[in-house]
Chains A and B, each alone.
Chain A
């Protein structure tokens, strides 16, 4: 038999634990809760600036776009966050189909060009992010290659098993890449998939997140890959010897968006974050924190060194409606035909 004293001690410990746990859970009050698709090293300084400017605290976790969307969808009946922050617009387009967002038009809404906002305010862009080719300089030199200047350059045998790019199941970068390929092939999907099939043997691994391949390319474990410009320039800034180039046929750019969650528990705080993020107040801070996004707001000037990289590049926007409508089907086809042939 259990002695009464031990029993009492057990009961007391258990009660203390439950109390402590519930009071810890309450420490999130009075703050805005966010899933950030931007990696922590960019999201954190932005949120700190926001807290400095408004006094509102930001509680956030970072997920890659597919994971974040999966979470928000799974939590639809009982939302755990107020704002979905960052991430390519096609992720938000898929979210609209699930009825995840509460339309909201921030004060900057009218100033933004049409492709930087959803007509009803389901999402608003906070930045623009073109894709680039990033290759390892040492790898190029060893194989007597120039930095790739065409999509077909990536098919060269020297790249066999040496490219890394993101997995469309989890990454928005991958989805933007696939829609870029569909676009440069005149929206002829069969032609686009034929190209991806030819590219497949050159792909060493499809990584879980969009930037997952940047470190291997920087280290030379992979020869090159297709990444968003922020990730590529960040790799370069860390000191890795990489080349950044653009295909002459053109490559897609994806707006990075923000949206208010339907049923959010702190909608007013969420709106304040959206007001701030869609205005120059946040986007003027990109350069200071060395975040190489192209600002979405027309009043914010492009940082000179970023402008130099983008000079002469053939960049086109991905049609958000087309991408949103076809995302699931195209990703399923990609899984069936490219990932697991």
Chain B
């Protein structure tokens, strides 16, 4: 049956496809086209001057290479750290309790507002830092620059590597390692020649994800990079909000588009096709082979414990800062900061929760619908639809935010200042995680299941409801979770979209940090972490209730 024929025969599919194309055109294609037009058209005539001016400005070139350098270093460092954690979790035979602690510590940076580690680093490693000065007595240390930005971004983003590598390592049957060892290879040789090569695609994948995350992050460099180490996302932000140069800022963002797209395509079409599957034909119930020597196990445990303690220390500091009058000056216990956020800040919290509550179901639904259609139905432009849906997801948030700001401020489509615009931004930027999860799930499920149902006399509606829907529910919940978490913690795109009527907690935190109000900033951050943990737990419970074959843990999808 050809694609066009499907649409004619199945008006429901045709209608859904048309609606999806309409929203994709409105919220993905239109803003991007407006952005490009703004950069390349000056008073109606084509002109690349503004763009070239940015490309040839030596400060911006320096910022570009700084961004690349930072991205590569974060990619390498984060992948190594993530691999270490994943390897420890998969091979070092941790007890259940210990595993939970590691998981929670690793999740913390992923679910908190992006600059929380940045503040903790300033407190700990500045010229009068708790660690550098009070503990080690060092003088003249600076908390700003490449080192601290790198450190903070690695700690913030390595969980992405951990979450993508852990299932991979768990999937490699340790009996293969056992066989190699019984053939006479040492443990180290087995690791080097068997385990590591099997992980290469996963490592490359993690590297690319981390590189992209670093490229999109403007909040950490805004606080930590200082003036010696300018990076592009921050420069683009300052160009627009500081020098009110929308064209220049848009052009700067466009420069980011090239590496971002390259990384995305590499990750999607090269790395993802090179995953190996290990099949041994042995039952899974067998005792796993012991691939780690006791000494290596101790070393791994110590290293992971060190990092986990560091993370917990940073968040404990944050909690402490939210509970004292003024960190560093007056350490009297107070609940005043929480009083502030629950009185003055109540509207912001309400705004954020309302926006997240609307974005969550819409994003989840969008992900499942689009993912289902592009995998199970054939219609013209199927591949194009999938690619288009990935655009807002692959691009750094700064670009998306700027594009939305330019496209929707004036008629014909005037949405600036409304909650709808922020919700749309979240749905189309983070909904694609749900699309990917749906596609991945459906690829594991044989069509014959659905065909059997049809053959036994059920209508296509009943088949979808009774067979397909339960199978893709985990993807739906994963989509919900990701959209919710990002709605609570993202800032790079939405900072351009807040208004007098609608503002977000993350924007408020950034404002408080740049002012003198550290206490409220810390209190808001703690609140966000708590809300997100509660919601993740609820989604986890829902997932367990709908436990279906092939369901993925919701957390393992957060990294994407």
Q: Contacts A4-B12, A13-B361, A66-B243: A209 and B514 contacting too (C-beta < 8 A)?
A: yes
B144 with A204: CB separation less than 8 A: yes
- Which partner residue on chain A sits nearest B325 by CB separation? A239
User: Does any Cβ of A come within 8 Å of B523's Cβ?
Assistant: no
Q: Is the CB of B122 within 8 A of A221?
A: yes
User: Considering only CB atoms, which chain B residue lies closest to A73 in the complex?
Assistant: B244
Contacting pair A216 B516 (CB below 8 A):
no
C-alpha gap A170/B464 in the complex (Å):
54
With A211-B516, A238-B330: A1-B420 Cβ-Cβ less than 8 Å: no
A162 to B13, CA, bound (A): 64
Contact partners of B514 in chain A: CB under 8 A = 64, 207-209, 211-212
What per-residue 1/0 map shows which CB atoms of B1-14 lie under 8 Å from chain A?
Answer: 00000000010110
Stretch at the interface among B99-107, B175-183, B198-206, B409-417: B409-417
Which residue of chain B lies nearest to A11 when distances are taken between CB atoms in the complex?
B19
Binds B, one of A75-83, A243-251, A288-296: A75-83
Most buried by A among B128, B361, B369: B128
Interface size of B by CB at 8 A reads 70
Chain A 87-104: CB-based contact to B (< 8 A → 1; otherwise 0): 000000000000000000
Having A22-B418, A25-B417, A81-B500, one finds 18 other A-B pairs with CB under 8 Å, namely: A1-B13, A3-B12, A10-B369, A13-B362, A35-B500, A39-B515, A40-B517, A59-B500, A69-B244, A73-B244, A74-B244, A161-B140, A170-B241, A205-B226, A216-B126, A218-B326, A220-B127, A340-B227
Closest-by-CB residue of B relative to A206 is: B227
Alpha-carbon distance between A40 and B340 when the two chains are bound, in angstroms: 11
Query: Given the complex, which residues of A lie within 8 Å of B462, measured CB to CB?
Result: 3
B417 touches A170 (CB 8 A): no
Cα distance, A63 to B507, chains bound together (Å): 10
Q: B516, A7: Cβ atoms under 8 Å?
A: no
| A-B residue pairs, 8 tightest by C-beta | A3-B461, A70-B244, A169-B242, A221-B126, A220-B128, A170-B242, A219-B328, A239-B329
Alpha-carbon distance A201/B313, docked complex (angstroms): 33
B499, CB-defined interface residue at 8 Å = yes
**Of A26-34, A110-118, A185-193, A309-317, the one touching chain B:** A26-34
Say yes or no: is A62 at the interface (Cβ < 8 Å to chain B).
Answer: yes
* A339 contacts B by Cβ under 8 Å: yes
> Is the beta-carbon distance between A239 and B244 smaller than 8 angstroms?
no
Binding site for A on B (CB under 8 A): 10, 12-13, 15-16, 59, 62, 122-123, 126-129, 140, 142-144, 222, 226-227, 230, 238, 240-244, 246, 325-330, 344, 354, 358, 361-362, 365, 369, 377, 405, 409-411, 414, 416-420, 423, 460-462, 464-465, 498-503, 511, 514-518
Contact between B498 and A61 (Cβ–Cβ < 8 Å)? yes
A129 contacts chain B at the CB level, 8 A cutoff: no
Task: Specify which chain B residues have a CB less than 8 angstroms from the CB of A202 in the assembled complex.
Answer: none
Chain A 220-256, CB-CB to B under 8 Å as 1, else 0, gives 1110000000010011001111000000000000000
Residues of B with C-beta under 8 A to A7: 12, 15-16
* B362, B460, B499, B516: the one within 8 Å of A214 (CB): B516
Taking the complex as formed, is A52 at the interface, i.e. its CB lies under 8 A from any CB of chain B? no
Q: Which of A102-127 contact B (CB under 8 A)?
A: none
Contact of A78 among B240, B361, B362, B409 (CB under 8 A): B409
The answer to whether A169 and B243 touch across the interface, beta carbons within 8 angstroms, is yes
A67 on the interface (CB 8 Å rule)? yes
The answer to whether B326 touches A239, judged by C-beta atoms less than 8 angstroms apart, is yes
Is the C-beta of A5 less than 8 angstroms from some C-beta in chain B? yes
User: A118 to chain B: closest CB distance in Å?
Assistant: 21
The answer on a CB contact under 8 Å between B142 and A80 is: no
B495: nearest chain-A partner, CB-CB: A67
Measured between beta carbons, the chain A residues less than 8 angstroms from B140 are 160-161
Contact B500 A215 (CB under 8 A): no
Residues of chain A within 8 A of B246, CB atoms compared = 74
Complex: chain B residue closest to A220, CB-CB: B128
Closest to B9 in A: A1
Contacting residue for B329 out of A61, A63, A241, A340, CB 8 A: A241
Contact: B464 with A60, CB < 8 Å? Answer: no
- On chain B, the residues within 8 Å of A6 by CB distance are 464-465
Q: Once the chains are docked, how many angstroms separate the CA of A240 from the CA of B498?
A: 33
A70 close to B241 (CB less than 8 A): yes
Whether A231 contacts B10 by the Cβ 8 Å rule is no
Given contacts A7-B12, A27-B501, contact A205 B144 (CB under 8 A): yes
A305 at the A/B interface (Cβ < 8 Å)? no
* Interfacial chain A residues near B16, Cβ < 8 Å: 2, 7
CB closest residue in chain A, given B59: A340
- Which A residues are CB-close (under 8 A) to B500? 28, 33-35, 59-61, 80-81
A197 contacts B by Cβ under 8 Å: no
Provide a sorted-by-A list of 10 A–B residue pairs whose CB atoms are within 8 angstroms: A25-B417, A28-B500, A67-B241, A169-B238, A207-B514, A211-B514, A218-B516, A220-B127, A221-B126, A231-B516
Nearest B-chain residue to A48, judged by Cβ: B344
B344 in complex: contacting residue of A28, A40, A64, CB < 8 Å = A40
A218 with B329: in contact, given A1-B10, A35-B500, A61-B499 (CB under 8 Å)? yes
Q: What residues of A have a CB within 8 angstroms of the CB of B417 in the complex?
A: 25, 80
* In the complex, residue of chain A having the shortest beta-carbon distance to the beta carbon of B344: A44
Given that A17-B358, A70-B241, A170-B241 are known contacts, is A209 also in contact with B230, CB under 8 Å in the complex?
no
Q: A170-B241, A220-B128, A222-B127 are in contact. Are A3 and B465 (CB under 8 A)?
A: yes
Partner of B423, one of A21, A28, A219, A231: A21
Cα distance A301–B263 in the bound complex, in angstroms: 63
Q: Which B residues touch A144, using CB under 8 A?
A: none
A27 nearest CB neighbor, chain B only: B501
Whether B126 contacts A219 by the Cβ 8 Å rule is yes
- Note all chain A residues with C-beta closer than 8 A to B409: 74-75, 77-78
CB atoms of B230 and A2 under 8 A apart: no
Instruction: Take A44-B344, A80-B416, A239-B330 as given contacts and tell me if A70 and B243 are in contact as well, using a CB distance cutoff of 8 Å.
Output: yes
Q: Are A25 and B405 in contact (CB under 8 A)?
A: no
B136 → A minimal CB distance (Å): 15
Residues of chain A contacted by B416 (CB below 8 angstroms)? 75, 78, 80
Alpha-carbon separation in the docked complex, A80 to B405 (Å): 13
A291 → chain B closest CB, angstroms: 13
Find out whether the CB atom of B501 lies under 8 angstroms from the CB atom of A25. yes
A-side contacts of B420, CB under 8 Å: 18, 21-22, 25
Q: Which of B10, B244, B327, B410 has the most CB of A within 10 A?
A: B244
Q: Give CA–CA (A33, B417) in the complex, Å.
A: 12
A220 to B123, CA, bound (A): 10
The complex places the Cα of A108 from the Cα of B145 at a distance, in Å, of 49
* Complex-state Cα separation, A260 to B516, whole angstroms: 28
User: Which residues of A have CB within 8 Å of B10?
Assistant: 1
Report B-chain residues with C-beta under 8 Å of the C-beta of A222. Answer: 127
Q: Which residue of B lies closest to A70 (CB)?
A: B244
A21 lies within 8 A of B419 (CB): yes
The closest CB in chain B to the CB of A33 belongs to B500
Tell whether, in the assembled complex, residue B365 and residue A218 are in contact, meaning their CB atoms are under 8 Å apart: no
CA distance A22 to B123 in the complex (A): 43
Tell which of A67, A80, A331 touches B499, judged by Cβ atoms closer than 8 Å. Answer: A80
Which of A73, A81, A167, A238 has the most chain B CB within a 10 Å cutoff?
A238
Most buried by A among B15, B143, B409, B501: B501
CB-based contact A2/B419 at 8 Å? no
Most chain A beta-carbon neighbours within 10 Å: one of B222, B462, B499, B503:
B499
Give B417's nearest chain A residue, CB to CB.
A80
Report the Cα distance A93→B508, complex, angstroms. Answer: 28
Which residues of chain B come closer than 8 Å to A206, judged between CB atoms? 227
Q: How far is the CB of A12 from chain B (nearest CB, A)?
A: 12
**B464 CB contacts on chain A under 8 angstroms:** 1-3, 6
CB distance B238 to A170 under 8 Å?
A: yes
**Cα–Cα, bound, A218→B464 (Å):** 63
In the complex, chain B residues whose CB is within 8 Å of the CB of A220: 127-128, 328
The interface residues of chain B lying within 8 Å CB-to-CB of A62 are 511
